[in-house]
């Protein structure tokens, strides 16, 4: 038997294939829902590694082709930035 | 706020080409790149590129990168920002934010060209987080950028061009490649790339997948399993392979975060690698002032990325300038892209692009492969029938030396045609055709050998002496053998057939490290001997 809890889907947040499959079977069939529950896609890689695997799992379990599934939302900023830069505190710029 | 006409995001082959297309036309351009050097994946590509002469086929990727980077630095219209990471685009205000040295820079561009490339797909299998499991890109970065040997024994997962090329480069770096596995029934990349590693003795397992990584603290092996026609595992076919590295080369996904965030219309097309922006023939997205180029618009080769980059650059620039010459060049690029994609190996990208735009068809024609898989496409080793089809007649074989092109798959490539000083090699009007040699014109000079990106050309001198023949072959390993040296002579599967003497070593700057070694062997092996191994 395949050990699903030994298969990592999201390396950033340490989420396994078992976690993902259980959620989908419980009815969480939208990648944005799975993201909010597991933090998949919220780590440093922002879903670049896990995104496609999760979509494929949802597709396999629900029978809906990936083309028809809701895709992941991306939000800025795409890199870590200090609050001082955003708020202007200690900002030399006149 | 930094104002500019064009902002190009990404300093890989597509982004550089886009910036140059604008800069050459005196348009104020900003190029931002996340790393502290330009070139993207090009700077790791030590192999020769396929394609046509016009797109510098036959040159190594690293050489193309050097030239492009120099031109960027010389162009006064291009402001280059390195170590600069895109943070986001705010369409309402038309402001693009960038992080450089901890500071947030704000750009106000009239047009944006996004060329962020792609990232590697990952794979779910048991113990897939063990140390020793790498993406092929990481392995290539360690080897070719930092000069670090990534492992001793590597199992490559995936036989696309990246998997095959990285396997070859690993062997050049002194690493053993214990096998290449491929889930599909045929080789994903160009079969000539597979032939290169087969000649070096690397086993290739088509219709196989990885089941699990073995090891406690780090990878000590892998378990692989055979797949049936419906991609189901066949029980009882499990095999254990010892290795200290599992290298994943299972495809790329377009890096579309900025586009998706900006509000461009996106669509999921498996043939293009996943989620891609909807765009027109001019590389313009659903947001008028955003253009795209390269892998993020659909996964392809670097040659296509460079063409798309120039196309996006010119089309974006065309909104500032109205020069008839540009229109001609734009049509030429579109035509070149179509030619690149028109062969059997382009069927996937053609089908993907046709899905991209509703009501519009990018490709009417193009040739597809038949349903039956030839042995060559499965093994990388030509069949007897393949070999008979290229040999000249008995009389010619026995006369003077002749070149033999072991190229049996229609791919877009023409350096052999353009480099024959006697015009003996032709491929008709379609760059995807197989090359043909006119043996009445072939003098056996051998200058084609080092020009073939697939290392698929050999020179045979059957009657070198009464009992011996010589075979001249391309050789890109170190150390280079010396004249007079006795070496092991190998067949197309890398198996030793006989010992042979090196009778000639051709090595000069123009050959750019594809040396040509001639080895003397008993006559019976003239059509078997295809590689050499130095005896320690």
CB contact under 8 A, B99 and A86: no
How far apart, in whole angstroms, are the C-alpha atoms of residue B56 and residue B518?
28
Q: Is B100 exposed, middle or buried (0-12, 13-18, 19+ CB in 10 A)?
A: middle
Mean pLDDT for the stretch of residues B355-380: 70
- Residue B373: pLDDT over 80: no
For chain A, domain boundaries = 4-87
Q: How far is A9 from chain B (nearest CA, A)?
A: 6
Local structure of residue B231 (DSSP, 8 states): S
Q: Which residues in B lie closer than 8 A to residue A18 (C-beta atoms)? A: none
Local structure of residue B435 (DSSP, 8 states): P
Task: Spell out the SS3 assignment of B452-491.
Answer: CCCCCEEEEECCCCCCEEEEEEEECCCCCCCCCCEEEEEC
Would you call B82 helix, strand, or coil by DSSP?
coil
Cβ proximity of B97 and A76 under 8 Å: yes
A94 touches B at CB < 8 Å: no
Q: Give the closest of A51, A66, A77 to B87, CB-based.
A: A77
How far apart, in whole angstroms, are the C-alpha atoms of residue B153 and residue B175?
6
Cβ proximity of B45 and B136 under 8 Å: no
In the beta sheet, which residues pair with residue B489? B498, B532
Cβ proximity of B528 and B199 under 8 Å: no
Taking residue B75's Cβ as centre, other Cβ atoms within 10 Å add up to 18
Mean pLDDT for the stretch of residues A1-24: 93
Closest CA relative to residue B73, chosen from B44, B104, B39: B39
pLDDT at A94: 46
pLDDT at B320: 83
Q: Hey, CA dihedral for B119, B120, B121, B123, is it positive or negative?
A: negative
B2-118+253-356, superfamily in CATH? FAD/NAD(P)-binding domain (3.50.50.60)
Residue B42 has φ and ψ, to the nearest 5°, of -55, -35
Residues 10 to 69 of A: which have CB under 8 A from any B CB?
Answer: 11, 17, 46, 48-53, 66-67, 69
A85 touches B at CB < 8 Å: yes
Band of pLDDT at residue B53, cut at 50, 70 and 90: confident
Angle at B128 between CA B126 and CA B129, to 5 degrees: 130
CB contact under 8 A, A77 and B97: yes
Mean pLDDT for the stretch of residues B74-92: 96
Q: Can you tell me the ipTM of this complex?
A: 0.91
pLDDT digits (tens, 9 = 90+) for B423-450: 999 998 889 999 999 999 999 999 999 9
Q: Which residues of B touch A (CB under 8 A)?
A: 85-90, 97, 99, 102-104, 119, 121-122, 124-129, 211-212, 253, 255-258, 260-261, 266-270, 274-275
Chain A interface, best mutation among B126, B215, B251, by max A CB count within 10 A: B126
Residue B103 has φ and ψ, to the nearest 5°, of -105, 145
CB contact under 8 A, B268 and A48: no
CB contact under 8 A, A76 and B268: no
Chain A interface, best mutation among B84, B257, B259, B261, by max A CB count within 10 A: B257
Q: Do domains B2-118+253-356 and B122-250 have the same CATH topology?
A: yes
CATH node for A4-87: 1.10.10.1100
CB contact under 8 A, A76 and B255: no
**Residue carrying structure tokens 């590693």:** B197
Question: What count of residues does chain B have?
Answer: 536
Chain A interface, best mutation among B260, B264, B268, B358, by max A CB count within 10 A: B268
A with B: how many residue pairs have Cβ under 8 Å apart? 78
The architecture that CATH gives domain B122-250 is 3-Layer(bba) Sandwich (3.50)
Rg (CA), chain A: 17
pLDDT digits (tens, 9 = 90+) for B145-190: 999 999 999 999 999 999 999 999 999 999 999 999 999 999 999 9
Chain A interface, best mutation among B255, B275, B355, B358, by max A CB count within 10 A: B275
Q: How far is B494 from chain A (nearest CA, A)?
A: 36
How far apart, in whole angstroms, are the C-alpha atoms of residue B496 and residue B488?
6
How far apart, in whole angstroms, are the C-alpha atoms of residue B484 and residue B469?
15
pLDDT digits (tens, 9 = 90+) for B280-303: 999 999 999 999 999 999 999 999
């Amino acid at each position: 038997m395949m050990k699903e809890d030994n298969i990592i889907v999201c390396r950033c947040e340490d989420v396994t294939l078992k976690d993902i499959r259980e959620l989908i079977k419980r009815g969480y069939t939208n990648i944005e829902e799975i993201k909010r529950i597991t933090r998949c896609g919220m780590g440093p890689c922002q879903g670049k590694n896990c995104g496609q695997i999760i979509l494929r799992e949802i597709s396999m379990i629900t029978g809906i082709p990936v083309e028809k599934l809701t895709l992941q939302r991306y939000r800025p900023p795409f890199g870590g930035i200090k609050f001082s830069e955003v708020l202007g505190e200690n900002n030399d710029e006149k | 706020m930094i104002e500019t006409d064009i902002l190009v995001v990404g300093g890989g082959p597509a982004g550089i080409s886009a910036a140059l297309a604008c800069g050459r036309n005196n348009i104020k351009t900003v190029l931002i790149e996340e790393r502290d050097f330009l070139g993207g994946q090009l700077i790791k590509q030590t192999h020769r590129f396929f394609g046509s002469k016009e797109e510098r086929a036959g040159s190594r990727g690293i050489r193309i990168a050097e030239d492009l980077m120099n031109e960027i630095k010389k162009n006064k219209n291009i402001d280059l920002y390195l170590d600069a990471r895109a943070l986001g685009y705010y369409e309402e205000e038309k402001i693009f934010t960038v992080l450089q040295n901890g500071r947030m820079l704000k750009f106000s561009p009239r047009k944006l060209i996004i060329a962020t490339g792609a990232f590697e797909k990952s794979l779910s299998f048991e113990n897939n987080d063990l140390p020793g499991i790498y993406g092929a890109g990481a392995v290539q970065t360690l080897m070719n950028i930092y000069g670090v040997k990534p492992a001793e024994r590597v199992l490559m997962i995936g036989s696309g061009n990246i998997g095959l090329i990285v396997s070859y480069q690993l062997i050049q770096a002194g690493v053993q490649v214990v096998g290449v596995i491929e889930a599909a029934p045929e080789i994903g990349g160009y079969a000539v790339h597979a032939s290169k590693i087969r000649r070096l003795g690397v086993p290739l397992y088509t219709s196989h997948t990885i089941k699990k990584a073995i090891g406690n603290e780090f990878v000590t092996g892998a378990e692989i399993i055979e797949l049936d026609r419906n991609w189901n595992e066949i029980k009882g076919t499990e095999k254990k392979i010892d290795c200290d590295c599992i290298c994943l080369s299972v495809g790329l996904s377009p890096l579309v975060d900025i586009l998706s965030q900006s509000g461009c219309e996106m669509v999921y097309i498996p043939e293009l690698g996943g989620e891609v922006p909807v765009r027109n023939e001019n590389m313009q997205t659903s947001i008028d002032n955003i253009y795209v180029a390269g892998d993020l618009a659909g996964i392809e080769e670097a040659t296509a990325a460079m063409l798309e980059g120039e196309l996006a650059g010119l089309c974006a620039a065309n909104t500032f300038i109205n020069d008839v010459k540009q229109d001609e060049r734009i049509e030429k690029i579109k035509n070149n892209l179509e030619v690149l994609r028109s062969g059997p190996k382009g069927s996937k990208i053609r089908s993907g692009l046709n899905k991209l735009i509703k009501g519009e068809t990018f490709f009417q024609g193009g040739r597809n492969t038949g349903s039956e898989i030839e042995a060559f496409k499965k093994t990388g080793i030509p069949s007897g029938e393949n070999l008979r089809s290229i040999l000249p007649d008995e009389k010619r074989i026995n006369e003077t030396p002749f070149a033999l092109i072991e190229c049996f798959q229609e791919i877009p490539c023409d350096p052999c045609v353009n480099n024959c000083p006697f015009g003996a090699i032709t491929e008709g009007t379609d760059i995807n055709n197989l090359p043909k040699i006119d043996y009445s014109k072939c003098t056996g000079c051998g200058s084609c050998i080092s020009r073939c990106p697939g290392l698929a050309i050999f020179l045979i001198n059957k009657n070198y002496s009464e009992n011996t023949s010589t075979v001249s072959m391309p050789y890109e390993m170190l150390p280079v053998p010396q004249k007079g040296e006795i070496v092991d002579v190998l067949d197309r599967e890398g198996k030793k057939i006989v010992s042979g003497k090196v009778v000639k070593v051709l090595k000069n700057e123009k050959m750019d490290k594809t040396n040509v070694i001639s080895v003397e062997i008993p006559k019976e092996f003239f059509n078997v001997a295809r590689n050499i191994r130095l005896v320690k």
